[in-house]
Structure 1
């Protein structure tokens, strides 16, 4: 099937406020995160390299600076991408999560990676739940999607646990060494979110 990534129709949105639930917060990336971002990517490079094209080569301090600068120089303007940092009182940087307007008008896609030193602790699942909730707070957004390569089983676990529905797959050129070139696509509809496993997870974390 044709991926919604091929849609030429743009969608801009205002940045949601910081989201939190229980032990985890998701906040917008800021200039002071540059050294933390560089350290996290460096520590996680072998973990990220199979799935992230930008991690296939040596990651530099300049690359971290460019990413953060692109996110922070836009101020309060409407954007097509917002990068959030999952964190808590003990750890100010646990990975990177993005809201991306690249799957058609009225939809946002969540992309993510977690610092390898903090994987298997529920960071990805809870952070993705927070950003799903944040996405539905944006006027006009009625669906949220998560896409991943079919071979990336760890990424697949996140939408499964949150109650996203699989909507199909499409062939695409592999971009990273571990990819097989089949993109799996998951979707959460706004009308389904309140009763979803993800919304229940947030409610439990906030009790």
Structure 2
């Protein structure tokens, strides 16, 4: 069995993008599927925050999804996801995490934030999404004609945004909608969304990542 150990939660977008990078790299890891309401003691021992994803390596523990993505593609990058514009990609991803994600949470759960309506929170999300729509009007992916690290990092969060009101999303952001569809219908998404039995302290452990995908979308 591989030494690297990944704690993951299937529906978490941060965990999704970490799994996407590992699967894209074709690196086999041991996967422990956790439920956030029942965090295993082994996870809390190496990450007291209890967040996922967490990647435990022989010499260190990575607790941020972007760090896991960079680690995975630094080991192997057969689809050339991170060979150009590295710093702009990282800046875009960090901007999304810092600026877009908080508004996305309010948009998804607008009833919990009655200070404004869902339309207001959606408009704030568009501050980040509108420039991506302009990019995708000119090219197939965020950084050119082929997928990049940024595409992998962003699409799980755009998926959550679209799920709130998919009809509005497809009408207002057709470029993003087509781009998202290409990811959701591609072999990579299928590979990372396999359902696993929960680990729960002494539960199942699974092999993940040795996909050897010929294409991602």
TM-score (norm 1): 0.28
Structure having the higher helix fraction is: 2
TM-score (norm 2): 0.27
Identify the structure with bigger relative contact order (alpha carbons < 8 Å, sequence gap 6+). 2
